[in-house]
Amino acid sequence: MKNPKVLIIYTGGTIGMINDPETGALKPFDFEHLYNSVPELKQFNYKLEAHSMKNPIDSSEMNPSIWADIAKTIFDNYSEYDGFVILHGSDTMAYTASALSFMLSGIKKPVILTGSQLPIGQIRTDGKENLITAVEIAGKLDPAGEPMVQEVAIYFEFQLHRGNRTSKQSTSNFDAFISYNYPLLAEAGVTIEFNHAALLRKGFQKLEVFSNFNTKVGLIKLYPGMPVAAYAPIFDLSKTEGVVIESFGNGNTFSSTELENKIDSYIKAGGLVLNITQCGKGSVAHGKYETSMMFVRLGVIGGYDITSEAAITKMMYVLGRFSDRDERKQHLQKNICGEFTQI
Ligand code: ASP
């Protein structure tokens, strides 16, 4: 069996940061530093190659044009490598993982995002284990000789998550990520145990990259007493073509004629509204409570248990890819790459 070939793509984040000697603040360092800091990687029987994005960033600076660059790098190198590891800051990693899951349609090879809470040069760093195991997973085959992971995933602190199911849950603990509504894809202990039933399998597919995201997407989080008028401008088709509402519990809202009228005229003018829950765990269930009936009447789409990170990036993808309203609606309702569980 040939040695697996893995491409490591460095985008920035704490994993490759050092302290600025003048200010003491953490800033991105060049990729060579990172690679030299983990000599253990040389012991793998894998063929590893590294590619650094032109300007490594703190992931708070992440945006759809960098997502497009990452997707293109994977596409251009797809036939040459067995898997890809993306080193990325944890702050927006769940957004990038979600965005890539929609951009890389038909992906059949592992794309594993990882990073760390402590810089790799620090003695207690979590970065080494994260990087080493992410690389190992990126080269793993299943018993049929196919790539074990055939989707975009996040590896952090011994856990492999479906990328578009994750949220960052902690700035202080090493287990920075959680998938509230989907089981782990794998757990790394003495051995790496894969949860075969949870891994995405889609049959024969050809990789296609679609990165022309439309960022005219609004996000509103409901709260008791909110001044609806302050949020009304979001329902303006010249500013947004889709709005995600983070509602209460199973997709519920307070009664408000003002909000109802705004959503109604927005949808009638061609806008799309996706209702997701602000609870981590659980799902929107339109019609379960009277307080979600307003959304049903207006034609708001229920997002089930999708995360906000996946909802926002899915909206950007759907708006960018389709221009017909019904087609957009149909794709928002569709489970594209395991991003929600329909109830
Ligand atoms: N601020 C950093 C970033 O997201 C934190 C991290 O790397 O985990 O880029």
Of the residues 169, 186, 209, the one at which a domain ends: 209
Shared-domain flag, residues 45 and 176: yes
- Does residue 80 form part of some domain? yes
Q: What is the pLDDT of residues 149-190, one digit of tens each?
A: 999 999 999 999 999 999 999 999 999 999 999 999 999 999
CATH number for position 296 = 3.40.50.40
Q: Is 98 helix (H, G, I), strand (E, B) or coil?
A: helix
- State if residue 89 touches ligand 1 by the CB under 6 angstroms criterion: yes
- Does residue 341 form part of some domain? no
- State if residue 90 touches ligand 1 by the CB under 6 angstroms criterion: yes
**One digit per residue, pLDDT tens: the chain, 343 residues?**
689 999 999 999 999 877 778 888 877 776 676 667 788 888 889 999 989 898 889 999 999 999 999 999 999 999 999 999 999 999 999 999 999 999 999 999 999 999 999 998 788 999 999 999 999 999 999 989 999 999 999 999 999 999 999 999 999 999 999 999 999 999 999 999 999 999 999 987 899 999 999 999 999 999 999 999 999 999 999 999 999 999 999 999 999 999 999 999 999 999 999 999 999 999 999 999 999 999 999 999 999 999 999 999 999 999 999 999 999 999 999 999 999 999 8
Q: Is 96 helix (H, G, I), strand (E, B) or coil?
A: helix
- State if residue 250 touches ligand 1 by the CB under 6 angstroms criterion: no
- State if residue 59 touches ligand 1 by the CB under 6 angstroms criterion: yes
What whole-number distance in Å separates Cα of residue 93 and Cα of residue 341?
21
pLDDT of residue 1: 65
Of the residues 162, 185, 209, the one at which a domain ends: 209
**Measured from the CA of 176, which atom of ligand 1 is nearest?**
8
- Does residue 339 form part of some domain? no
Answer yes or no: are the C-beta atoms of 131 and 85 closer than 8 Å.
Answer: yes
**How much distance in Å is there from the Cα of 259 to the middle of ligand 1?**
36
14 is catalytic: yes
**How much distance in Å is there from the Cα of 236 to the middle of ligand 1?**
33
- Does residue 122 form part of some domain? yes
- Does residue 110 form part of some domain? yes
Shared-domain flag, residues 161 and 294: no
Answer yes or no: are the C-beta atoms of 112 and 149 closer than 8 Å.
Answer: yes
- Structure pTM? 0.96
Answer yes or no: are the C-beta atoms of 56 and 11 closer than 8 Å.
Answer: yes
pLDDT of residue 218: 98
**How much distance in Å is there from the Cα of 82 to the middle of ligand 1?**
27
CB atoms near residue 65 (< 10 Å): 10
Residue of 61, 63, 90, 309 with the most ligand 1 atoms within 8 Å of its CB, for mutation: 90
Q: What is the DSSP string of 323-334?
A: -SHHHHHHHHHS
- State if residue 16 touches ligand 1 by the CB under 6 angstroms criterion: no
**How much distance in Å is there from the Cα of 169 to the middle of ligand 1?**
13
Q: How many domains does the chain have?
A: 2
Shared-domain flag, residues 12 and 45: yes
- Does residue 340 form part of some domain? no
**Measured from the CA of 12, which atom of ligand 1 is nearest?**
9
- State if residue 69 touches ligand 1 by the CB under 6 angstroms criterion: no
Q: Which of 11, 14, 166, 307 is catalytic?
A: 14
**How much distance in Å is there from the Cα of 33 to the middle of ligand 1?**
17
- Does residue 324 form part of some domain? yes
Answer yes or no: are the C-beta atoms of 343 and 283 closer than 8 Å.
Answer: yes
Residue span of the structural domain in which 148 resides: 5-209
